[in-house]
């Protein structure tokens, strides 16, 4: 296979356009976790901070747990009706639900109806995200078959910037409004901004053309009537393998990229604004590592790269968290460590599963493995980590969780990995163009 680390300018433009939508969509989803301490007070009041936070993260997990259903639904649509139509619809749903979250009444105003409405919106939000990122991964990988790692690396670089955008906005609002106003109503502003930016991304997505590889399926009559049935009938082993890889990705990215601001602020009592600023800077600085990791999957043995990441998570998580809980840790060092793990995991693992599936079930296959991995092992990470802290009294709960997931993921390394070569389809005019 040709080893490519560059691409035509048209492919870069397409990747940047797709990635901007993905960045804003991930921002919409993760802003909930960044506002967790405020949401806990307004929607899940309790006698102690940890119990209140558990209720908030339970609702966070609900959003993750609906992602597999969304992945199955939108994966079916994507393999039947097209990639472009499907992930254009998902970003519209994300924008709508995010904006509505910023408008919800609180528990003090309407009682138990408030958390019920919040959980309902989280269900819809998670459902739509289940089709968004797999759709973007599928679309970009089919747009540049020789440069899949590079293209997907650009996508996840943008997603890391989305995390930085959310944390930067959090810190800026704390500085501008102050802690009291932020806790009272200022926490709503990031949701409104996310909804607005999501609608802009929706308009951008509408300009795309369909994937050439998908259109070619009509020419050879290989489009499956029920992609999910074909997937489970002929690709069960690779589904299990992909799930284990995405378990490692989901747990690592969620713990280090999503959970840490609330962990540091609510459990270790570090200042909200200080944590937010350092997180924003760290994730912005380290976001290019996602691109580097993606390029490495185009150049090096993918299995060795995955093994290296799993071992790093297992070995280094305990020393990292032991430093985090010392009496006077430097927040800058903490967030740089978190950004390092999150950037490498997000850029390295998703490109690996792209070639696990043939074109006729690729969207469904990626959506199933990606979403179940993130839902089961990523969505439950904040709740489980906090629960371990509460039940054992040790602040190393997240490290124990990551080590267990890392060990489980190593089973994927001993399974055979298929390789459905998309480069052979380049003659089918696979490069979609953005409409001018």
Share of the chain above pLDDT 70, in %: 86
Which pLDDT score, from 0 to 100, does residue 7 have? 56
Tokens matching residue 130: 């289940």
Q: Is residue 2 part of a domain?
A: no
pLDDT in tens, 299-347: 889 999 999 999 999 999 999 999 988 877 888 888 899 989 999 998 9
Lowest mean pLDDT among 23-27, 146-150, 293-297, 431-435: 431-435
Q: Which of 9-13, 167-171, 205-209 has the largest mean confidence? A: 167-171
Average pLDDT, the chain: 80
- Domain of residue 322, CATH code: 1.20.1250.20
The domain containing residue 18 runs over which residues?
9-416
User: Look-up: residue for tokens 């955008």?
Assistant: 165
Which pLDDT score, from 0 to 100, does residue 436 have? 36
Q: Is residue 428 part of a domain?
A: no
User: For the whole model, what pTM was predicted?
Assistant: 0.77
Q: Is residue 91 part of a domain?
A: yes
Q: Is residue 94 part of a domain?
A: yes
User: Look-up: residue for tokens 């089709």?
Assistant: 131
Q: Higher confidence at residue 371 or residue 82? A: 371
pLDDT in tens, 349-360: 999 998 888 878
pLDDT in tens, 105-132: 988 888 888 888 888 888 888 888 888 8
Q: Is residue 247 part of a domain?
A: yes
How many whole angstroms separate alpha carbon 364 and alpha carbon 224?
A: 11
Cβ atoms 162, 31 nearer than 8 A: no
Query: Would you tell me how many other CB atoms lie within 10 Å of the CB of residue 2?
Result: 7
Q: Is residue 427 part of a domain?
A: no
Q: Is residue 436 part of a domain?
A: no
């Amino acid at each position: 296979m040709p080893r490519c680390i560059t691409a035509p300018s048209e492919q870069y433009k397409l990747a940047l356009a797709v990635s901007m939508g993905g960045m804003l969509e991930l921002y919409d989803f993760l802003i909930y976790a960044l506002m967790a301490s405020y949401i806990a007070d307004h929607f899940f009041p309790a006698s102690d901070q940890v119990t209140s936070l558990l209720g908030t993260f339970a609702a966070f997990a609900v959003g993750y747990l609906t992602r597999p259903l969304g992945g199955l639904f939108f994966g079916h649509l994507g393999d039947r009706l097209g990639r472009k139509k499907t992930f254009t619809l998902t970003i519209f749903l994300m924008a709508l639900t995010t904006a509505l979250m910023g408008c919800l009444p609180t528990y003090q105003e309407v009682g138990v109806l408030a958390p019920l409405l919040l959980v309902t919106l989280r269900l819809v939000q998670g459902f739509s995200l289940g089709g968004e990122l797999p759709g973007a991964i599928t679309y970009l990988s089919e747009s540049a078959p020789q440069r899949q790692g590079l293209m997907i690396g650009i996508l996840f670089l943008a997603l890391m910037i989305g995390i930085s955008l959310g944390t930067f906005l959090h810190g800026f609002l704390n500085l501008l409004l102050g802690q009291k106003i932020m806790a009272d109503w200022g926490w709503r502003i990031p949701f409104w901004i996310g909804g607005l930016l999501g609608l802009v991304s929706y308009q951008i997505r509408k300009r795309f053309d369909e994937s050439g590889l998908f259109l070619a399926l009509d020419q050879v009559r290989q489009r499956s009537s029920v992609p999910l049935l074909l997937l489970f009938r002929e690709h069960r082993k690779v589904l299990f393998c992909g799930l284990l890889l995405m378990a490692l990705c989901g747990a690592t990215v969620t713990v280090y990229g999503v959970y840490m601001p609330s962990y540091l602020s609510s459990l270790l009592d570090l200042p909200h604004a200080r944590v937010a600023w350092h997180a924003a800077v760290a994730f912005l600085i380290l976001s290019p590592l996602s691109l580097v990791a993606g390029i490495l999957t185009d150049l090096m043995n993918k299995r060795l790269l995955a093994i290296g990441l799993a071992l790093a998570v297992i070995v280094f998580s305990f020393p990292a968290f032991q430093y985090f809980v010392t009496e006077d840790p430097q927040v800058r060092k903490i967030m740089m460590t978190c950004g390092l793990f999150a950037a490498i995991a997000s850029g390295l693992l998703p490109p690996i599963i792209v070639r696990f599936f043939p074109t006729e079930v690729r969207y469904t296959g990626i959506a199933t493995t990606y979403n179940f991995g993130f839902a089961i092992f990523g969505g439950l990470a904040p709740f489980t980590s906090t629960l371990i802290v509460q039940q054992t009294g040790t602040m190393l709960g997240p490290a124990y969780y990551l080590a267990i997931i890392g060990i489980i993921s190593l089973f994927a390394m001993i399974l055979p990995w298929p390789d459905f070569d998309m480069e052979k389809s380049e003659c089918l005019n696979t490069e979609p163009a953005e409409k001018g």
